[in-house]
Amino acid sequence: MNARSGDRARIEDYALIGDEQTAALVGRDGSIDWLCLPRFDSGACFARLLGGTDHGHWRIAPRSPGDEGTCTRRAYRPDTLVLDTEWDTPDGTVRVTDLMPQREHAPDVVRIVEGIRGRVTVRSTLRLRFDYGSIMPWMRRCDGHRVAVAGPDSVWLRSEPPVRTWGEDYGTHSEFTLGEGERVAFVLTWHPSHERRPRLVDPYEALESSVGDWRRWARRCRYDGPHRDAVVRSLITLKALTYAPTGGIVAAPTTSLPERLGGVRNWDYRYCWLRDSTLTLGALLTAGYQEEAESWRNWLLRAVAGDPGALQIMYGVAGERRLPETELPWLPGFAGSSPVRTGNGAVAQLQLDVYGEVMDTLALARGAGLPVRPHMWSIQRALMDFLMSAWRQPDQGLWEVRGGRRQFVHSKVMVWVAADRAVRTLERREETSGDLAAWRRLRAEVHREVCAKGYDPRRNTFTQSYGSRELDAALLLIPRVGFLPPDDPRVIGTVDAIRADLGHDGFLRRYDSKEDDDSVVDGLPGGEGAFLACSFWLVDALHLTGRPKEARELFERLVRVANDVGLLAEEYDPGAHRQLGNFPQAFSHLGLVNCALTLFGTEEAG
């Protein structure tokens, strides 16, 4: 049985490589089990992550019949996205170095095998399966390559120097023996099948340039406090999740990794969420990455342009709006967690909070001195015009619930944020125009309503929605966005209530999913793990409300949740000590960066 479809499945066993247009997950056994080509949201040619070996993978490891051959150790080269995986065997030690160099035209996966000690026999097993493991390509030899073709996809594989390669069991196999200092490099290149083969990449030059490029980028980080390695690793991960041609940042490079093993909460996260926008911009600006911040801001402006009433919660990496949700029944799912989904039906939801996120992001960009686009204020005015008439509507909320619309308190708080940022912009900039009096009235009215209908005075806490008793970790953002000051008793009461009701061994769930109740707010059966971004929000809230020692202790625990190469998934099961959800998750790494900057940083955005 494939280790990923049985009881031994572990999301944290993976590391990430990528070229800022797509990414691959490499397991501790030396197998690339997930890779979508040519973009993050393209069909996967390696989908073992969500199935078995027959759904596509590429393993390079010492020959070890009948053994999974888990590596002895692995690590990224410092301040890079270049991964070294090493095995100690009775015959010696061998290293596999994995990377995806910055592409000029076509995407490449480079895998360099090097003998470190003794003489070790290594085997490469490649099974290409296009369209998420559903299409087996036709394989042929051409000009020293193995060439796989099916429909629009073509993949070329070569080694330097050439090694013995043969076809067997619907796969392509190579085997060779390396002594100390000897190397064999494999290069896998994708291109559209109707086009000519792209220019060959020198694997050793690609390695040298990739290491240099990543280290130069990492040196730009302005943060120099505790856990700098974790902060830089998180920033590198965010850079790797960026679609370089547009500046969009995907939430994760994967789909359908479960929020509960064996459950149905399996979603496609290979898109760009507006909810992440302010946190993303703030982290990039404060850490010293102005160019990346501007690219993200520009992506945001292009994506949201159009009818303000049709603002979406997420978009494709180039701003695409249609992301139809479908299920892939031939894939059993990670650890049997089905269904496997592509696309995301939540794209059609109404979430009023995104209007606040966009207005807050653009206000932050203006305050930080990013170049102002001529149409930026016109877009913001249009968003405010829509909110003036639509803000009272119930919505699906930040968490994209599928159990019906409600008057979510966080959504209303973010409406207040939109009005507040619009008012402040007009008050500070005489050259802009807008209905200042109306926006001030809106800001005051929303504030009064939230405090009257979204606050439970008996428990001294804000609630998830008007009139409900449920809580929501998103309410921790109330002091961060400025809705109320951190020392307000209602804020402190909310923080304490959320810790008590949603806490799980010190970490936080998003809300109470009531594992045995199918009528809960999100409309889905089964529970989920602790949400790491919310746990980082608690760090921030504890710090703001005057509890820095508790904030730092929780931050230390969260940093330790990262796997051996510093990566975080969406969620965590504190009891089983397992990562859950799509991986690696931008929202979690944003939380780590922003908390480090809040707790230990000395410079602010702008």
Distance CA 391, CA 418 (A): 11
pTM of the model: 0.95
Mean pLDDT calculated for residue range 105-128: 96
Mean pLDDT calculated for residue range 390-418: 93
State the residue for tokens 């040519």: 38
Mean pLDDT calculated for residue range 274-286: 93
Q: Which of 40-49, 190-199, 453-462 has the lowest mean pLDDT?
A: 190-199
> What tokens appear for 492 in the block?
């402190």
Mean pLDDT calculated for residue range 114-124: 97
Distance CA 87, CA 71 (A): 5
| CATH architecture group of domain 14-210 | Distorted Sandwich (2.70)
Residue 604 binned pLDDT confidence (cut-offs 50, 70, 90): very low
Amino acid at 502: L
Residues 579 and 571: beta-carbon distance below 8 Å: yes
Q: Which residues sit opposite 35 in a β-bridge?
A: 24, 46
Interval 218-259: pLDDT, tens: 999 999 999 999 999 999 999 999 999 999 999 999 999 999
> What tokens appear for 207 in the block?
């390695």
> Does residue 457 surpass a pLDDT of 90?
yes
For 50-114, give the secondary structure using H, E and C. HCCHHHCEEEEEECCCCCCCCCCEEEECCCCCCEEEEEEECCEEEEEEEECCCCCCCCEEEEEEE
> What tokens appear for 306 in the block?
């159009």
- Using alpha carbons only, give the angle 279, 285, 291 rounded to the nearest 5 degrees: 115
> Does residue 7 surpass a pLDDT of 80?
no
H-run or E-run covering 438: helix 436-453
14-210 and 225-600: identical CATH topology? no
Residues 442 and 434: beta-carbon distance below 8 Å: no
Residues 23 and 16: beta-carbon distance below 8 Å: yes
Distance CA 406, CA 218 (A): 43
Instruction: Tell me if the bond preceding 339 is cis, omega within 30° of 0.
Output: yes
pLDDT of residue 374: 84
> What tokens appear for 352 in the block?
């009023």
Residues 343 and 268: beta-carbon distance below 8 Å: yes
Distance CA 392, CA 415 (A): 10
DSSP helix/strand/coil, 152: coil
DSSP helix/strand/coil, 328: coil
pLDDT of residue 67: 52
Residues 475 and 446: beta-carbon distance below 8 Å: no
Distance CA 235, CA 252 (A): 14
H-run or E-run covering 45: strand 44-46
Percent of the chain with pLDDT over 90: 85
Distance CA 279, CA 270 (A): 18
Interval 285-304: pLDDT, tens: 999 999 999 999 999 999 99
Query: Among 237, 230, 223, which residue's Cα sits nearest to residue 81?
Result: 237
Strands 248-249 and 507-508 come out as unpaired
Distance CA 21, CA 434 (A): 39
pLDDT of residue 506: 87
Distance CA 30, CA 23 (A): 16
Beta strands in 210-299 (DSSP E): 242-243, 248-249, 272-273
DSSP letters of 157-183?
Answer: EEEES---EEEETTEEEEEEEE-TT-E
Name residues whose C-beta falls within 8 Å of residue 575's C-beta, 6 or more positions apart in sequence. Answer: 505
> Does residue 4 surpass a pLDDT of 90?
no
Answer whether CATH 1.50.10.10 is correct for domain 225-600. Answer: yes
Name residues whose C-beta falls within 8 Å of residue 287's C-beta, 6 or more positions apart in sequence. Answer: 221, 222, 223, 231, 235, 593, 597
> Does residue 170 surpass a pLDDT of 70?
yes
Amino acid at 284: L
89-116 burial by CB neighbour count: b if 16+ within 10 A, else e? beebbbbbbbbbbebeebbbbbbbbbbb
pLDDT of residue 2: 41
pLDDT of residue 197: 85
Mean pLDDT calculated for residue range 563-573: 97
Q: Which of 189-198, 368-377, 396-405 has the lowest mean pLDDT?
A: 396-405
Residues 464 and 456: beta-carbon distance below 8 Å: no
Amino acid at 418: A
Domain ranges of the chain: 14-210, 225-600
Q: Is 327 exposed, middle or buried (0-12, 13-18, 19+ CB in 10 A)?
A: middle
Q: Is 404 exposed, middle or buried (0-12, 13-18, 19+ CB in 10 A)?
A: exposed
- For 160, other C-beta atoms within 10 Å of its C-beta total 16
Alpha carbon 249 to chain centroid distance? 8
